[in-house]
Amino acid sequence: MTAYKFYELNQKVLDQMDLPRLPFPVRTEKEQRIFGGQQVQFDLLLDELEEYLRKNPQERDRYRQFAGRLAHFEGVRLGQNGFPELAAHYLETGLSLNPEDLALRFNYALSLQSLGKKEDAMKQYRIIIEDPAARVNPLVWIFAARLSAELGNPKTAYYLLEAVADCMPEDNEFWELLYEMKERAGFVDRPKPKFCGACGKPLVVGTKFCGGCGRKI
Does this model's pTM top 0.85? My answer is no
Whether residue 155 contacts residue 178, with contact meaning beta carbons closer than 8 Å, is answered with no
Report pLDDT digits (tens) over 92-135. Answer: 999 999 999 999 999 999 999 999 999 999 999 999 999 988 88
Q: What's the burial of 88, exposed, middle or buried (CB within 10 Å: 0-12/13-18/19+)? A: buried
- Is 1.25.40 the CATH classification of the domain at 4-131? yes
**For residue 8, what pLDDT is reported?**
86
Q: Please give the Cα distance from 38 to 49 (Å, whole number).
A: 21
| DSSP per position, 27-40 | EGGGHHHHHSSSS-
Domain ranges of the chain: 4-131, 135-189
**Bridge partner list, 3:** none
